[in-house]
Amino acid sequence: MTQGLELRDVSVSYQAQRGAPAIDVLRGVDLRVPKGTTTALLGASGSGKSTLLRAVAGLEPLRDGRVLFDGEDLAGVPVHKRGFGLLFQDGQLFAHLNVARNIEYGLRSSRMPRADRAARVAELLDLVGLPGFADRPVATLSGGQRQRVALARSLAPSPRLLLLDEPLSALDADLRARLAGDLRDILTRTGTTALFVTHDRSEADAVADTVVAMSGL
């Protein structure tokens, strides 16, 4: 049984309008991400890296191929049942909730007791370098702090795979470089299996164990 993520001959097509011929965006992609490691998908805009990430998440249908995790074929498994975490460029935090309630959002549906949720939030805030921030309003946070909170939220349910789509690209260069190193440390310490999309080679090298270059069709 294959451990971790495996893509076999994955192809994704788009149809610009009904009746028009389908256009391949990805064709015959093979990829393995061993459990507990991080692989970066590196490429320019339009290379298909974000489309591949979305296909793994179940947000894009496959034209051909298979997506497997720990040997299980995920065909037909909906997004919310794959056990994957998602982190995007803007973090997508809930502005009306404070830091703690953002982080515990995915835990509330699991019926975890309140005291356990609070302990998990405190643990994650320490992990991402924001101890004592639980009661802070999201609006008071800097861009880097928001992404740390978003990372904590994505890690809260202990996802079996974390999908990160350019999570640092909206930050300035100095902060991006610092957070890339912190992100690598956090993923390593938690033993998280991750697929990381970026257009920045130095960022890919800083975060990932393996870098896969995508050039598009």
Helix, strand or coil, per DSSP, at residue 9? strand
Residue 2 reports pLDDT greater than 50: yes
Residue 35 reports pLDDT greater than 80: yes
Helix, strand or coil, per DSSP, at residue 30? strand
Give yes or no for a contact between 41 and 49, defined as CB atoms under 8 angstroms apart. yes
Instruction: For helices 143-155 and 114-127, give the axis angle rounded to 10 degrees.
Output: 130
Which secondary structure element, helix H or strand E, spans residue 7, and what is its range?
A: strand 4-14
Quote the mean pLDDT of the chain. 92
Domains assigned to the chain: 1-83+160-217 (3.40.50.300), 91-158 (no CATH)
Residue 7: predicted pLDDT: 98
Residue 33's pLDDT band, with cuts at 50, 70 and 90, is: very high
Rg (CA), the chain: 18
Q: What would the pLDDT profile of 122-179 be if each residue is shown by its tens digit?
A: 999 999 999 999 999 999 999 999 999 999 999 999 999 999 999 998 888 888 899 9
Give yes or no for a contact between 40 and 197, defined as CB atoms under 8 angstroms apart. yes
